[in-house]
Structure 1
Amino acid sequence: MSLIERIVTVISAKLSKLVGRAEDPRETLDYSYEKQLEMLQNVKRGVADVVTSKKRLELQAQKLEQGVVKLDSQAREAVQAGREDLARTALARKVAVQQQLQDLDQQTQALEAQQQKLVENERTLSTRIESFRSEKEVIKAQYSAAEAQVKIGEAATGIGDSMQNTGRAIERAREKTEEMEARGAAMDELIASGTLEDVTSGGKTELDRELEQIASQGQVDQELEKMKAEVGAGSSQKELEQ
């Protein structure tokens, strides 16, 4: 179960208890508003966590890029020294690091997409919460006015409390039901939008790894031959100049 799903479950459970025992629907509206603000804070923390993870991957990629440059330089030095075995080892490590860089790039792109989705959900949720806040205050004011009118009417006409209480209970139940249905629809949209995704799984099979190893070995051989040719060409040029 995702974080937002857990939040929705907790809010729904607490609201159900509150609706069942609340005497004043204004308290229910205020409680619902507070829970929505808490959910918004959780979404904001989710955005911050994704940004932090993406930055960590970017820093790791920078270190790997520096490693590629260093390994390439070491391979060239080994070829110049006639140590083909050392050159081959350095190039093999270089290819492996380049593959790690590709994997990091894919993970970074996935985190970027997740960040954009979370930011969009944050904007949508903020708009809905502000709209709910405005409507909540209107309903509370209307309820207070209606409550005062009923009390005045009772004092003036002497209508029995039992009949008035029955009417108010029905109205409160209707208002609470409509508000709960609206909140449920909003929560369903947020969950259905797929806010959180698992971007940590690589999904590679043993066959994939073997094919990558073959491709890496071929790349090592190609770079080694190219480097030997470059070193040989440099030596020939120096002999001609002498």
Structure 2
Amino acid sequence: MGIFSRFGDIVNANITALLDRAEDPAKMIRMMIQEMEDTLVEVRTTSARVIADRKSLERRIERLRSEASEWERKARLALSKEREDLARAALAEQQAVEDALQQAGRELGAIEEQLGILNEEIGQLQQKLDDAKAKQKSLQVREQTNRSRMDMHRSGNREKLEEAFRKFEAYERRMDDMEAELESHDLGRNRSLADEFEELERDDQVEEALAALKARMRSGKGSEA
């Protein structure tokens, strides 16, 4: 069974308090570090998947943009051949592609927000892991000092032992005073995705696009003349 049950447990953990309650602090800190490292790997793996999704969506957006331009080119060609029926159909297809492009843009925005959250989580986990490793080093120093204390007892140098121990305790108190609790950041973000377009009648959209295209083509012919 793990020490932590979720990401929030790690970033909110008071490592010093947990170690103070542990029967074997050295074993406890090793377990903490292992679980933190495993969690960090999981979050990085998730980030890699999201980045791959973003790249795939960006390629799709580029394809949609190219497709929309191609349908407009076909509409212009149809009008130049006096085939308004084909031009109208091409503009309808272009409108459908533009709608898909708008949706893909919203999806890309959601992915970017998710990546921002994951990046923040990775930073928090890494900082907590660094804190745990620092505490592990402190425990190792304490263990070495205790061994030295026992050796000095055996040799009968009690005064030297007590002096060394008092220095160590003073140093440890200074370290404890300097430790700061890491505060978890509120990862929640309110986000509202308002619809950018009202539902319009398809025929009205096509007619407006057709009229605009005719106007641009007439303007272009006038410039050539």
TM-score, normalization by structure 2 = 0.67
Q: What's 1:146 paired with?
A: 146
Say if 1:236 and 1:150 are closer, same or farther in 2 by CA, change over 3 A. closer
Which shows bigger deviation, 49-58 or 106-115?
Answer: 106-115
Q: Distance in 2 between matches of 1:237 and 1:149?
A: 97
2:208 to 215, 218, 222: 222
Within the alignment, does 1:113 sit opposite 2:104 as a pair? no
| Count of residues in Structure 1 that have an aligned counterpart in Structure 2 | 196
Say if 1:151 and 1:222 are closer, same or farther in 2 by CA, change over 3 A. same
Instruction: Mark the runs of 5 or more structure 2 residues left unpaired by the alignment.
Output: 10-18, 157-180
Q: What's 1:79 paired with?
A: 79
Between structures 1 and 2, the one with greater helix share? 1
Q: What's 1:70 paired with?
A: 70
Q: What's 1:15 paired with?
A: none
Q: Distance in 1 between matches of 2:122 and 2:220?
A: 60
Q: 1:1-242 to 2 correspondence within 5 Å? A: 6=6, 24-143=24-143, 145-146=145-146, 149=149, 189=184, 192-194=186-188, 211-214=198-201, 216-231=202-217
Q: Distance in 2 between matches of 1:212 and 1:79?
A: 27
Say if 1:151 and 1:193 are closer, same or farther in 2 by CA, change over 3 A. farther
Deviations 1:113-172 (A, max 9, x none): 221222122123212211220112202331453367469869x9xxxxxxxxxxxxxxxx
Q: Distance in 2 between matches of 1:90 and 1:108?
A: 27
Q: What's 2:15 paired with?
A: none
Letter in 2 for 1:81: K
> What is the aligned-residue RMSD (CA, Å)?
4.2
1:69 shift after superposition: 0.7
Instruction: Mark the runs of 5 or more structure 1 residues left unpaired by the alignment.
Output: 10-18, 157-184
Letter in 1 for 2:37: L
Structure 2 SS opposite 1:145: helix
Q: Distance in 2 between matches of 1:133 and 1:139?
A: 10
Deviations 1:71-107 (A, max 9, x none): 0011111112222121111111111111211121122
Q: Identity of counterpart residues, as a percentage?
A: 23
Letter in 2 for 1:28: M
Q: Distance in 2 between matches of 1:218 and 1:113?
A: 35
